Chains A and B, each alone.
Chain A
Amino acid sequence: MLDLRQYTSLGAALRDALERWPDETCLIEADRERENCRLTYRQFKEAALPLARALQDLGFQGGDRAAIIMTNQSKWLISAYAVFYSGGVLVPLDYKLMAREHLQLLAHCKAQVLIVEHHLWRVITQADGYRDFKVRTVLVTEAPAKMDLAGARRWEESRGSAEPQFIPRAREDVACIVYSSGTGGRPKGCALTHENYLEQCVALTALYPFWPGVRYLSILPTNHAIDFMVGFIGPFTCGATVVHLRTLRPEYVRDAFPRYRIAYMTLVPMLLKNLERGLRAKFGALAPYRRFLLHWLIRINRTLVGDRPNLRVSRVLLRQVHQAFGGELRTLFVGGAFMDPSTLQFFYDLGIPVANAYGLTEAGTAVTVNDFKPFRADTVGKPLPGMEIKIINPGSDGVGEVAVRSKTVMSHYLDDPELTAETIKDGWLRTGDLGRIDPSGHLQLFGRVKNMIVTEGGKNVYPEDIENAFEGLLVKELCVFAANFVWPERVLGNEKLILVVRLEPGNEITDALLNELSSRNRRLPDYKRVNGYVVWDEDFPRTASMKIKRGVLAEAIRAKLDRQSAVVKL
């Protein structure tokens, strides 16, 4: 792999990677059973540099911001490299956000360029806030012929003929602005520097190295912080191959393992559970004697392997299981949300190690990861090389707020010095997560001190971001909370949102109000929906600027109401 300590920017590192392994395959894009493209590092360069030149010809300069809104596909990576080559700052936006949310974030980050898939662009141009759209250059991919693009250009035709200029960046320059939340309330644009990414890559590849010929299956969108690192920067700076699958459908994901002989893959808990469910269903459908034999082999594997994975042994003993995964699978990574230890154990017993990790965008992706020395299903592993962790205000059981200090911690929140100061104190990033470091140095997580939830799909949901979905409801005031913020629980997983409503004096909850509430709730993406409501009979405490004092309100609700009886399920 490249020695990333020698580089000052992602653009420079990627440029050298493309030169160093010209004939290795760097990228395969598959859609269901079709293969859309297969590029060597040389071909990737030949696709990206004319785009970089086109951007430069359109006035894009070092430090300018370019947002990408795309599903999981090869043009995402090609565009990102063109931006880095031109010294730009990349703004990866979640394509699953609603159009008005895209518009809010594009305005917040003041993007000069937007690179977007056609179907998403079409929705953006029809959104209410589009009249205030100020992005100078829009490149649209995969637009049908003769389609009116509302002033945008075709990505496929954006190819400058001259050599583009490589714009160098310093380590401390911002490489990406990644939004960890904030479409409804306060946008949290994490400014991550080139150093943050280069150091994160060094730390991760020290534990899990890539090399030419090894294949990584990417099914998470590249805007996802984990996939950006493990499915782009990591493999590319090691000469490895990334296989992009454009669909998340479980049957195609399962097919991709043997088809592309995958070695590594990252999943969110929901996907891993789905894989587990599929395998359990297959095992359950086996003839009784074969099922007995399988369980017997699993027991032998568990005994022989012990607490450190031994792929050679497991691949021989459980040959058919490993063949179904292509026979070359080394490790699955899981992160982004709470992972049930029983699922980790299930895969481990089959000889498929799942490295459970913990991280957050603000810390440049991963902070801890299980290194299998030994395997532990009950923790999120030890800190990666170069990461320091401490527990703030630990209780008698050692549990307190997790804080992180490392070269991977973001520089700041974009245009929000106040929030930055609250979040990073004396160089320590306050994560808002509750944890404990056990005697062997493993981090165990227990819950959150912050008002947010993380879904099984790895999405952070900040309650204040969804309050506007309930605006205009016939109540005096309302507020959304993470239920565990109001009634703290030392558990992770199955986290819920609740809506607290203060009715007009004398009013009661009516069927009409409930119907309206449910209907608004249904219109939200499933991961943003509130699970129940609470009727609160006092005015909300507010600041001088009329913002709800959420902490005070949560405390008052907790003191007066019991969770079980107060929350009415929707």
Chain B
Amino acid sequence: MRTLEQTIDEILGLAATHFKVPREQLSPHDDFFKKLKIDSLQALELLTRLEHHFSVELPDYEFQGVSDFRTLAERIHTRL
């Protein structure tokens, strides 16, 4: 069973790889729209990546209003 911190770490790693950003530049409280310079559709693409990685289905609406990695991780973590 992953801890929340592990989940956050894996999300940051996946986001860095997917959007080609150095991992060390990302931190849990970052606004991922700003930090990754992405729009809401690209954020949904990231969500699909995360679904595959964590083997869970994440409804789009669950992530409405979420903009930082930590909250994103918390929402995913409750489904693991």
Contact = CB atoms under 8 A, between A and B. Distances in A.
A162 B41 CA distance: 45
B9 interface: no
Contacts of A270: 39-41
A568 B74 CA distance: 32
Residue among B31, B39, B60, B68 with max Cβ neighbours from chain A (10 Å)? B39
A71 B67 CA distance: 20
B45 A249 contact: yes
A498 B65 CA distance: 20
B22 to A, nearest CB: 21
Nearest to B59: A119
B27 interface: no
Interface in A87-123: 95-96, 98, 119-120
A453 to B, nearest CB: 15
A143 interface: no
A525 B61 CA distance: 13
A322 B31 CA distance: 37
B33 interface: yes
Interface in B36-58: 39-42, 44-45, 47-48
B64 interface: yes
B45 A271 contact: no
Interface residues of B, number: 18
A202 to B, nearest CB: 33
Contacts of B68: 522
Contacts of B62: 119
Nearest to A526: B33
Contacts of A251: 45, 48
Contact of A249 (B33, B39, B60): B60
Contacts of B60: 71, 246-249
Interface in B1-43: 31, 33, 39-42
A526 B40 contact: yes
B67 A249 contact: no
Interface residues of A, number: 20
Interface string A39-53: 000000000000000
Contacts of A525: 64-65
A522 B61 contact: no
Name B's interface SS. helix
A456 interface: yes
B54 to A, nearest CB: 16
A251 B52 CA distance: 13
Name A's interface SS. loop
Given A456-B39, A457-B40, A522 B48 contact: no
A274 interface: yes
B67 A271 contact: no
A270 B48 CA distance: 18
A96 B31 CA distance: 19
Nearest to A96: B64
B47 A522 contact: no
Contacts of A98: 65
A294 to B, nearest CB: 24
Contacts of A119: 59, 61-62
Given A119-B61, A270-B39, A526-B33, A250 B44 contact: yes
Contact of A522 (B31, B39, B44, B64): B31
Nearest to B45: A250
Contacts of A250: 41, 44-45
Nearest to B64: A96
B28 to A, nearest CB: 14
A246 B61 CA distance: 10
Given A71-B61, A522-B31, A248 B41 contact: yes
A251 B49 CA distance: 11
B67 A526 contact: yes
Contacts of B65: 98, 525
A21 to B, nearest CB: 32
25 contacts: A71-B60, A95-B61, A96-B64, A98-B65, A247-B44, A247-B60, A248-B44, A248-B60, A249-B41, A249-B45, A249-B47, A250-B41, A250-B44, A251-B45, A251-B48, A270-B39, A270-B40, A270-B41, A274-B41, A274-B42, A457-B40, A522-B31, A522-B67, A526-B33, A526-B40
Given A98-B65, A274-B42, A526-B33, 10 more contacts: A71-B61, A119-B59, A119-B61, A249-B47, A249-B60, A250-B41, A270-B41, A522-B31, A526-B40, A526-B67
